[in-house]
Structure 1
């Protein structure tokens, strides 16, 4: 939701539930009214500005400040009450907020969202409680698919002695999924919830430096017992390995499978993009590709989908005018536009519309450009095969102009033909080069 929506929701709940117990702090139960009294504020005096959940100049290159913006009026109590699934009121307010957002999406008919829900890996019960929340509050919408984000914060749990090693964190994240796959009857809620989950995301501040270089000499997860956080590539490899095995097991049993779609290349080392190229189905951001023409070329050849969020990057890592999205699109990389935390980066109810409108205005994108981006976004999303057929045409899986139904996508056939021919030419250059190399060596 955007900030105005959150503000309205806070004021509405205060009007109806002021005397309701919503928080337990240090053994003391507090009503909504007492929470606001303790914060010395009246919800009716709150404005969008005083709510202070919008990222701005002060968050640029400051990921810590960006994270603290999730606390409305800087109060972690309000984050706990309104933006958590696992709290004293069993995540009821958060579920209601999401349902209101879902209702708006259903009204607009042609917008779908893929919100993230967090699984941290500090205890195996997290999945149980998340799926219970999802089913108890019926947080289902035909216009939403869910992605599970796993923050890379092993070091925090280790320093608090919550887990003995990295293997325990992986076990807490993945073992419940294997159990629910093998024995759905025993884990009914989780089994049902997983039908609406389409993938996994790996999130955190990428600019954090790691001294460890991941290689075959790296300690196994059981042996990773230091307080240091494993490097990005270590996280990616182990998540990918678990997701792949889980997918094979689920496929055998006729169940849905998951994509791996990490945040990657937003900041930090260029090697992150190498790790993701080898392991991920899609990536989010990919800004650092502009620093490496070779990697950019690889991402182009493999048509690895990249979901880009220029407005979010503009507040955190890269000014809008320097964003490489337009350049990537013109070169033929598979890029799409996506929102990233509408509460922090967008002003209106139509967050995705803001992304498209600003990109189209600033870069003078043609209708065909915008439609190509929208087509890419449907292709790389977690929507079902049936829904994609509805939006893109029945042959959407075919390459080139054959796979394009112009009545659905509004992308000109000449554009599709050009993209396809160019890609085939590049690939044939490579094949010819390999053949001549082989002949030469004989």
Structure 2
């Protein structure tokens, strides 16, 4: 159904680059021939799986060959990692394609020649294939035989298709003959095998962690692998058709979820024990004697396997024929969308008008990427601060040198009154000075530039137990409920500095009754180990992991041990990893990397190191929670906003969804893989416009036209938005700038619901 690309790239039109101590990309490609999957020869793709739905990537080869392959992949991957660390200006160069590629012109001429031959020459199939071999430059008899096997009656079949009357509601364009694009058919097969292999790798990790893998892609992989599809093993629900009489409003609970605080009504202790081994929590049958007790049968991820798969993926994304193949497929998808608009736009809009009780304003929308500490706009925060100064002037809100300070005294030390405060005084909005300055952007979280006000008003753990912040968040929730059709997934922070952070956060939510049917929580973990280690708050990286994950295992094993946390986790849908991605990384994550217990360096661990150990512990936790009858979590990190391209590789392998994904525009292979796997991408164009990428260069409309699952989100309304409805502000600006149609806007809203963490019943 789609066209293919040629096996060569156009390096001639690239801009000159500074001299580099590394080899050029051509040398990287020569290390693996034309295809990292080519070692498999002509063998068909036969995935093997260590778990249901899990192929094993390299174990099907002899030991000598497997060792050689792993060394080659490791060499290529490490050279790419090193290049991304040492020369930031060359980070994206190996993955970019010029806009006007000679490949396209060459292929266009070959297509014209092929059409002329098919119209003017009527020969026997064997002679016709010989003629095609001549002008398509098919170099081997193997290519010719493959084309024979694929069918020699394509012309007759096309004529038969034209004769069949097809009644369709919309006009459709059908493109056949993928193997006749002028590229040797074996090259197309090799490129396709590499793409399929990457999808098998993702399927393995997503199924293992009980996250959601696209069912359409899974069915295609099942047909290729000739195996029984087993995605239903971990499914919480079965797809159900939408009834015409379905209610317009989501189900609403009759009682507040935090009303029942009685521990006796919660599940009992399972008797399991848990401790962390090499950065991953292990669960034991008997908690009283874990050293001699047997481990509970849970799937513990294998670090060596992950490193091998990462090396395969890094080798694949710089493979020349695969890049050409994916680039042409992406161009085809864009052209196909434009053709659809030309043929069907008016009829599509007419059909949309016939839908009763539904337009853009009253369809559900989810803000899939928003931080709780900045979920309000600056005018909202200003009004609340003034109201608090008048209502609670004598309340002790801060401890300074062992002495309590009231709210009135805090502002008196700043020589400010409620009358003096204004939006400009708060100075919390991003401006032109924050572009590529993440440090200045972080300072915007401090009202009036004072960190003490940030601690008082937008922190959950402070002298007043987060009272003011809870009031602000509940006001935002009330606005969402009033709008009725808007929902949010707010992110709260767990830093990993001490073991009781989870209990304090849960007590804040439960005691202040911070809950709404329109809101779900995600837990973000800032990548700040180097800061805490420098301040002597953490001895090693494993201590940080223990502080983050051991309380979750304890409450899953015995909910009565942390009753507030058990109630709070019922509304937490996943984990996020946040920080400035543009920070240079000083370490390459490989088998020589120190284990978390041995990581005592001052340098911060790399992005993939954080993501792997978050994924590994979440995987074990999900299986334990499923065994106990609780809901599971997903991984939805910030990924691809800036920094090296391998962040997106880690996200592709381990994450259900990502946020930002801007760098996919420079990596055609990864962009095509994200499309095939239907990985959700929460994009925030206004946020990116102030930090990393101007609005008109944002790739969101391109991603949407190609079929990637993208949604609009606000990120930080406090810094980037002006109105009471920041999500509608995002939609409004995007629609005006990119001339989105009503159908486009509704598709973005639909995508946001699909990729959100709300339950299937609510969706």
**TMscore range, shorter length:** 0.7 to 0.9
Aligned to 1:213: 588
* Residue 154 (1) aligns with residue 529 (2): yes
Aligned to 2:441: 66
TM-score, normalization by structure 1: 0.87
1:1-28 residue CA offsets vs partner (Å, 9 max, x unmatched): 1000000000001111111111111212
Unaligned runs of 5+ in 2: 1-375
Aligned to 2:634: 259
CA RMSD of aligned residues (A): 0.6
Q: Does the CA-based 8 Å contact 2:520-2:758 persist in structure 1? A: yes
2:478 to 75, 87, 103: 103
Report SS of the residue matched to 1:117: strand
2:696 to 309, 314, 321: 321
Q: Which of 1 and 2 has higher RCO (CA within 8 Å, sep 6+)?
A: 2
Instruction: Please give the alpha-carbon distance, in whole angstroms, between the structure 1 residues aligned to 2:406 and 2:586.
Output: 47
Aligned to 1:246: 621
* Residue 348 (1) aligns with residue 723 (2): yes
1:384-419 residue CA offsets vs partner (Å, 9 max, x unmatched): 11110xxxxxxxxxxxxxxxxxxxxxxxxxxxxxxx
Q: How does 1:29-44 map to 2 (within 5 A)?
A: 29-44=404-419
Instruction: Please give the alpha-carbon distance, in whole angstroms, between the structure 2 residues aligned to 1:225 and 1:33.
Output: 43
Aligned to 1:144: 519
Greater than 2 Å deviation, 4+ residue runs: none
Report how far residue 77 of structure 1 moved: 1.1
Report how far residue 216 of structure 1 moved: 2.0
Report how far residue 217 of structure 1 moved: 2.0
Report SS of the residue matched to 1:371: helix
Instruction: Please give the alpha-carbon distance, in whole angstroms, between the structure 2 residues aligned to 1:26 and 1:114.
Output: 38
Aligned to 1:284: 659
* Residue 93 (1) aligns with residue 465 (2): no
* Residue 269 (1) aligns with residue 631 (2): no
Aligned to 2:425: 50
Report SS of the residue matched to 1:283: strand
Instruction: Please give the alpha-carbon distance, in whole angstroms, between the structure 1 residues aligned to 2:431 and 2:590.
Output: 38
1:302-361 residue CA offsets vs partner (Å, 9 max, x unmatched): 011000000000011000000000000001001000110110010001100011000011
Report SS of the residue matched to 2:577: strand
TM-score, normalization by structure 2: 0.51
Aligned to 2:572: 197
Report how far residue 260 of structure 1 moved: 0.4
Report SS of the residue matched to 1:23: strand
1:306 to 681, 687, 691: 681
Q: Does the CA-based 8 Å contact 2:683-2:700 persist in structure 1? A: yes
- Aligned pairs, number: 388
Unaligned runs of 5+ in 1: 389-442
Report SS of the residue matched to 1:88: coil
Q: How does 1:213-232 map to 2 (within 5 A)?
A: 213-232=588-607
Bigger CA radius of gyration: 2
1:24 to 387, 399, 407: 399
* Residue 376 (1) aligns with residue 743 (2): no
Report SS of the residue matched to 1:385: coil
Instruction: Please give the alpha-carbon distance, in whole angstroms, between the structure 2 residues aligned to 1:26 and 1:80.
Output: 16
Q: Does the CA-based 8 Å contact 2:586-2:603 persist in structure 1? A: no
Report SS of the residue matched to 2:398: strand
